[in-house]
Structure 1
């Protein structure tokens, strides 16, 4: 990381944004392919060219359980201009928003009788051929199969990633196929990149704390960085036994084997770096309730420090920033995770029993959130 010392935090975060935006381009294609497979444009067309998500869902014959997930796909397609979007007066009511056809989505309408009568081939066929590399990928096939699932069917439903990889979860693939899928190394690399920026830009969130538990902190990269910056702060990493067994010796942090869904050791504060986005709302509430039981009272400095995305938190005129957030959400949807906007975060915070929070959007597409009991 010494090679990056010549760059400011802003320059580094912008560079990361550029690389992520380019890398996530696949999911622009995936969103378009899902919309074509589910014939969303046809549904909106039959509804008069403008419709709410519940109306689109019913018209397209998609299971109601996929409402939130279709909203996420449509969010990506509206940011890129394939559909247009009319925000309701009450911004808390996601499902009253109206989606409209644009010239681009109008070309995707399959059941265009005027073209058929004139003997013309529909223009969407060329789009389908251009999407072929995406459509032929395991991830895309998994997402398509997942949208066709019905959560109401008997038995558990697999995440898109598992449908794509013979039932393996992302964690199982990371463990058994580390050479071709170096997921754990990628997370450690991100920690090494981000944590010096965190301490430089908002290190005050750790100041005054006496103890900190880094939940699901892996081999302790983040905790070690924090402990080096605040020598009087007792830092502990909580992770599963098989992870803690690989922890380095002689580190300036302690390691505790455990499960964040069961309990978290008593502490002044809890640190969650890029953890909650891996889980659905119900699991997040459970984790946060355990955090609340573990931390001190607010008057004693008790809080939860979260690093995650807050969708919509960036500059309103930065399309690349907005698009990267919503495309990352489609990526994380593959493991049944969620990138949340502030309203969605607020819902799980308050459901877990917390009273207040503060969002600090200084980490590019990610933010620091301070959550108070």
Structure 2
């Protein structure tokens, strides 16, 4: 069967559905951001059992909460398989109570968990990062960086000048570093046993990755190496020294040089 333009109707409809998926896909990220900001996954987790909408409302604790908006958000997130819907029908009242529970997806939204993607969601959906995308066609047509067009500075210069966003960015990177570290240490356990002296993590952010390595292998001394504005927000870790600098100019001396590339 073909359409008026001579194409396959099924293929055309599949193409339309794919384009619509891309158009509305941006709402998925923003819905996740809303969920993290409201702490919905944490509220459900603290109940340690399937949780009603009313219990979530109590957990958010706002005097002017938009109940209808929250209910719509939860239906959307259930539809996207972020949360589980454990509905029960009460026969005598002829109404349905919805009980929400966590699944393997929503557990990554817990803000107080050791392994979480919540900071990355907050960082990647930040308007500072998202708005330059609106200048992509201008950048392709005329050249130049969309970020600089929008904010007047290149990305890392902007981070250096804006401590609040710098913190958001570093926390987003740190949460992925924990996940990366876990995978690396599971895969290369014997290799770390054989290392000696010091290990430098080039572009190590606030030092999460090298700190985890040194914690697991205390015979190593860790060096976390990154730009000054990044190092300035890094916490103190046992066995780790923070050194500020530019990797394109020089790297601290160490027996092992470590670098991860995030695509």
TM-score by length of 2: 0.44
Q: Which has the larger radius of gyration?
A: 2
Which gives a bigger RCO, structure 1 or 2 (Cα 8 Å, sep 6+)?
Answer: 1
